[in-house]
A = this chain, B = another copy of it.
Amino acid sequence: MEKTTVLEFLQQNLQSVEQVLTQLKVLSEPKGLYEPVSYILDSKGKRLRPQLTLAAADAFSGDRDVAVQVGTAMEVFHIFTLVHDDIMDKAETRRGRTTIHTKWDEATAILVGDYLMGKAGEMLLALPDQQLRSGLERFSLTVRELCEGQIRDMEFETSSNVSMDAYLQMIDQKTSALIKTSLILGGLTGNADKESLQHLDHIGFHMGRAFQIQDDLLDLTADSDDWGKPVGGDLMSGKKAYLLLEALRVETTTGNSYFHRVAENGGLASTEVDKAKHLLDEMGVLSSTQNAVRHHSNEALRLAKLLPESLGRLTIESLIEKMAVRSH
């Protein structure tokens, strides 16, 4: 592959990943399994996780073909978590497409998830013997973290007292863990040493934090046209995400109670969203949240600059920058 610009690299990667995903769309029997599997693999996405694997692989001169397989495994695993999460959250659509348990039924969605999880593990067998065990150990750890993170996320829904620390731990498990692993598997394909893998781990940690806090912020500040969900949805449903938890923290020092009431009432009316946004701005919550995103993306960038000079490193830097300024 001729290396040119970050943009071209990202495009070539996307093409390779989509090609592997297309190969997974086997339309054999039983159709009850493989039709929904193909349907869900058809959903478009930025394929952030394989992009990270491929970029890290490039930074450590790893085998590209292996990285394509392993990176796509991370995407397949990500899709598995979305399929099962959507059942648990009773979500009818995701990014405009009907969810599997809605289009088919819950039993089918459970099985499609199970199948994809198994497939993700299988795809990791593309790793050469030398890196297979480390890769699978990392994968196993990630499965555990994702399961723990998801149960915590669900527990928060009914818990009246969620601390910011507990919330950050949850997003570390639910979002950062897979981002870290995607980077680390890329490094593994290039036989990166322990210190470098640790390095990739830290980059992924900060990327995951920046990504999720930005996501929480966008829930209130995104353009409604781009967002694909009702703006302010988290506040309306009283979801204990970053903004609300930060607001509760500030209120504890100021003695105000608006957001404590929002939390107690399990949300607010859509007509209240503008007022809440205004209040969050006045309280400094919007700016401190933006600062948190900036802090984590800056840390990720700082660490990325220590990676071996390469198109892969530039790509990781570019992905971090895009993440911090994205509007949807």
Contacts and interface: CB of A to CB of B under 8 A. Distances in A.
Given A30-B155, A154-B107, A115 B132 contact: no
A148 interface: yes
A114 B143 contact: yes
A114 B111 contact: no
Interface stretch (A116-124, A219-227, A278-286, A307-315): A116-124
Contacts of A151: 30, 32-33, 108, 111
Contacts of A146: 114
A167 B140 CA distance: 34
A292 interface: no
Interface string A28-40: 0010110000000
A136 B125 contact: yes
A88 B117 contact: no
A113 interface: yes
A144 interface: yes
B125 A33 contact: no
A137 interface: yes
A27 interface: no
B118 A143 contact: yes
A115 B147 contact: yes
Interface class of chain A by DSSP: helix
A132 B127 CA distance: 12
Interface in A213-237: none
A84 interface: yes
B117 A118 contact: yes
A140 B125 contact: yes
Highest count of chain B CB atoms <10 Å: which of A33, A106, A137: A33
Given A107-B154, A111-B150, A148-B33, A140 B122 contact: yes
A147 B118 contact: yes
Given A30-B152, A122-B140, A125-B133, 10 more contacts: A32-B151, A33-B147, A84-B110, A87-B107, A87-B110, A114-B117, A115-B143, A119-B140, A121-B136, A122-B143
22 contacts: A30-B148, A30-B155, A32-B155, A33-B151, A84-B111, A87-B106, A88-B107, A107-B154, A108-B151, A108-B154, A111-B147, A111-B151, A114-B114, A115-B143, A115-B144, A117-B117, A118-B147, A119-B140, A121-B121, A121-B139, A125-B137, A129-B129
The 9 closest A-B pairs by CB, nearest first: A118-B143, A122-B140, A88-B107, A115-B147, A33-B151, A32-B151, A30-B151, A32-B155, A30-B152
